[in-house]
C-alpha cells in the first residue's frame, strides 16, 4: 500500500516522456509583443503614456464625481464604479508589461499568474455588468423620466453595483478554478504578454475541452447576456427619442447615451472577439493586438469619451480648475 502511494506521488512529481523529464511548472515565460530591442523601447514609451493617461483620467473622473454635488446621481455613481474598475483592470496588467519591456527574460510565477487572472477577470467581468447596468439607467432616464427618481433609488443603485461586482467575482472564480485545475507539465512558454486563460490553456498537459466549454459558458453569462440587455435598452431608447417633439431633448438624449454606446462597442467588441470564438480562427499576433485594445487602450479612452462628450463632467472640471486658480491668487 505504501509503495503504491509512493509510486503515485512520484508520478505526480515527475512524468517521464521519452528522454525528456516533464516537471511541474513553477513559472511561466512570456514571448511578449516583440523580441526586437528597439521595438520594445518604443512600446515601453507608448504603454507608459497610455498607462499614465489611464490613471490620471480615471482618477480625475472619480475625484470630480466625489467633489461635485451635481454629479451625485445614479449615472455618475455607476461611472465612478466603471472608472475604478478601469483603473484596477489596467493596473493588473500594464505595470508588469512595462517591466518586461526592459528585461530580457519575461517571467511570472505560477501563483503570480493565477493572481493576475483572478484580478483581471474580476474587474473585467465587473465592467461588463456595469455597462449593462448603465444602459438600464439610461433606459429609465429616457423612457420613464417621471419615474426615474422612484426607480433608481440609492438602495437600488447600491444593489446593482454590488450585483455587478459579485457577478465579476463569480465568473473570475469559475474561470480561474477551471483553468488552474489542469496539469501544467514541462512546457511553460506563453505566446502572449500577460496571463490570459485562452493563451494559458494551450500549455495544459491534458484535454482542455471541458475547461473551454466552462469559460465559453461564463462568456455567455457575462458577455452575451449583458449585450442583449444593452441592445434591448437602446432599442427602446431610440424609439422614444425619435418620438420626442423637442430637438434639444433629442440632442441631449443622444449625447448622454452616445458616450455610453461608444464605450460598449469598444469593450464588448474586443471581449467577444477574444472569448466567444474558436481559438484557431485568428493568428496569435492578432489575438495579442485585440488584447492590447481592451486591456490598455479602452481603459484610457473611457474617461476621455465621457469627459469630452459630457457637459456636466466638463463643467465640474472647469469649476475645480477655477477653484484652484482662485486659491492660488489668494
Encode pLDDT of 260-308 as tens digits.
Answer: 777 788 788 877 777 776 654 556 777 788 888 888 888 998 888 877 6
- Residue 182 counted as domain residue: yes
Look at residue 50 in the predicted model and tell me its pLDDT. Answer: 95
pTM value? 0.83
Distances (CA, A) of 172 to 114, 188, 235, 242, 271: 11, 22, 30, 40, 15
Most confident of 11-20, 34-43, 232-241: 34-43
Contact predicate 108/27, CB 8 Å: yes
Look at residue 118 in the predicted model and tell me its pLDDT. Answer: 95
Distance between CA 164 and CA 160 in Å, rounded? 6
How many helices (H) and strands (E) are present in the chain, helices listed first? 14, 5
- Residue 9 counted as domain residue: no
DSSP H or E run through 63: helix 37-67
Distance between CA 10 and CA 13 in Å, rounded? 5
Share of the chain above pLDDT 70, in %: 83
Contact predicate 135/230, CB 8 Å: yes
Span 41-67, mean pLDDT? 93
Q: Which residue has the higher pLDDT, 219 or 140?
A: 140
Q: Which residue has the higher pLDDT, 283 or 206?
A: 206
**Cell, residue 261:** 454606446
| pLDDT of 114 over the 70 cut | yes
What range does the domain containing 307 cover?
27-311
Look at residue 35 in the predicted model and tell me its pLDDT. Answer: 85
3-state DSSP call for residue 276? Answer: coil
DSSP H or E run through 286: helix 284-292
Report residue 76: phi and psi, to 5°: -80, -25
- CATH number for the domain spanning 156: value is 1.20.1070.10
Mean pLDDT over the full length of the chain: 83
Share of the chain above pLDDT 90, in %: 38
- Residue 74 counted as domain residue: yes
- Residue 270 counted as domain residue: yes
Encode pLDDT of 22-43 as tens digits.
Answer: 678 889 999 888 888 899 999 9
Q: Which residue has the higher pLDDT, 217 or 247?
A: 217
Give 224's DSSP letter. I
- Residue 5 counted as domain residue: no
- Residue 302 counted as domain residue: yes
Distance between CA 201 and CA 6 in Å, rounded? 29
Look at residue 40 in the predicted model and tell me its pLDDT. Answer: 92
Q: How many domains would you assign to the chain?
A: 1
Look at residue 255 in the predicted model and tell me its pLDDT. Answer: 66
User: CB neighbours (10 Å) of residue 294?
Assistant: 20
Contacts 24+ apart (CB under 8 A), 48-53: 48/98, 50/94, 50/296, 50/297, 50/300, 51/90, 51/94, 51/95, 51/98, 51/296, 51/300, 53/300, 53/304
Distance between CA 112 and CA 35 in Å, rounded? 23
Contact predicate 94/50, CB 8 Å: yes
| pLDDT of 259 over the 60 cut | yes
- Residue 295 counted as domain residue: yes
- Residue 14 counted as domain residue: no
Look at residue 4 in the predicted model and tell me its pLDDT. Answer: 37
| pLDDT of 190 over the 60 cut | yes
| pLDDT of 163 over the 50 cut | yes
Residue 107 pLDDT grade (very low, low, confident, very high; cuts 50, 70, 90): very high
Look at residue 9 in the predicted model and tell me its pLDDT. Answer: 37
Look at residue 153 in the predicted model and tell me its pLDDT. Answer: 94
Q: Which residue has the higher pLDDT, 68 or 192?
A: 192
Give 222's DSSP letter. I
Instruction: Enumerate residues 6+ apart whose C-beta is below 8 A from 126.
Output: 81, 85, 164, 165, 167, 168, 169
Distance between CA 214 and CA 218 in Å, rounded? 6
User: CB neighbours (10 Å) of residue 65?
Assistant: 22
| pLDDT of 215 over the 90 cut | no
Encode pLDDT of 76-103 as tens digits.
Answer: 999 999 999 999 999 999 999 999 999 9
User: CB neighbours (10 Å) of residue 122?
Assistant: 24
Look at residue 308 in the predicted model and tell me its pLDDT. Answer: 64
Look at residue 171 in the predicted model and tell me its pLDDT. Answer: 93
Amino acid at each position: 500500500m505504501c509503495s503504491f502511494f509512493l509510486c503515485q506521488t512520484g508520478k505526480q512529481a515527475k512524468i517521464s516522456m521519452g528522454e525528456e523529464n516533464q516537471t511541474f511548472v513553477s513559472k511561466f515565460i512570456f514571448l511578449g509583443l516583440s523580441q526586437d530591442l528597439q521595438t520594445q523601447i518604443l512600446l515601453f514609451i507608448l504603454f507608459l503614456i497610455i498607462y499614465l493617461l489611464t490613471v490620471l483620467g480615471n482618477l480625475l473622473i472619480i475625484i470630480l464625481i466625489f467633489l461635485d454635488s451635481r454629479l451625485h446621481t445614479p449615472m455618475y455613481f455607476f461611472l465612478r464604479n466603471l472608472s475604478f474598475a478601469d483603473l484596477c483592470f489596467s493596473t493588473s496588467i500594464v505595470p508588469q508589461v512595462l517591466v518586461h519591456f526592459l528585461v530580457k527574460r519575461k517571467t511570472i510565477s505560477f501563483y503570480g499568474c493565477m493572481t493576475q487572472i483572478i484580478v483581471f477577470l474580476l474587474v473585467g467581468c465587473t465592467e461588463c455588468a456595469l455597462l449593462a447596468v448603465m444602459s438600464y439607467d439610461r433606459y429609465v432616464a429616457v423612457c420613464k423620466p417621471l419615474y426615474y427618481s422612484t426607480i433608481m433609488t440609492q438602495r437600488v443603485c447600491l444593489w446593482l453595483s454590488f450585483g455587478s461586482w459579485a457577478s465579476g467575482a463569480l465568473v473570475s472564480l469559475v474561470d480561474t478554478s477551471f483553468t488552474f485545475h489542469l496539469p501544467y507539465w514541462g512546457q511553460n512558454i506563453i505566446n502572449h504578454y500577460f496571463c490570459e486563460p485562452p493563451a494559458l490553456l494551450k500549455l495544459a498537459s491534458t484535454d482542455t475541452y471541458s475547461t473551454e466549454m466552462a469559460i465559453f459558458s461564463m462568456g455567455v453569462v457575462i458577455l452575451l447576456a449583458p449585450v442583449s440587455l444593452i441592445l434591448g435598452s437602446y432599442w427602446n431608447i431610440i424609439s422614444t427619442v425619435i418620438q420626442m417633439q423637442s430637438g434639444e431633448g433629442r440632442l441631449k438624449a443622444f449625447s448622454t447615451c452616445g458616450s455610453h454606446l461608444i464605450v460598449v462597442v469598444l469593450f464588448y467588441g474586443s471581449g467577444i472577439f477574444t472569448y466567444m470564438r474558436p481559438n484557431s480562427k485568428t493568428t496569435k499576433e492578432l489575438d495579442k493586438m485585440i488584447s492590447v485594445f481592451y486591456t490598455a487602450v479602452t481603459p484610457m479612452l473611457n474617461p476621455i469619451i465621457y469627459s469630452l462628450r459630457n457637459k456636466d463632467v466638463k463643467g465640474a472640471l472647469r469649476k475645480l480648475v477655477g477653484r484652484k486658480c482662485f486659491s492660488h491668487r489668494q
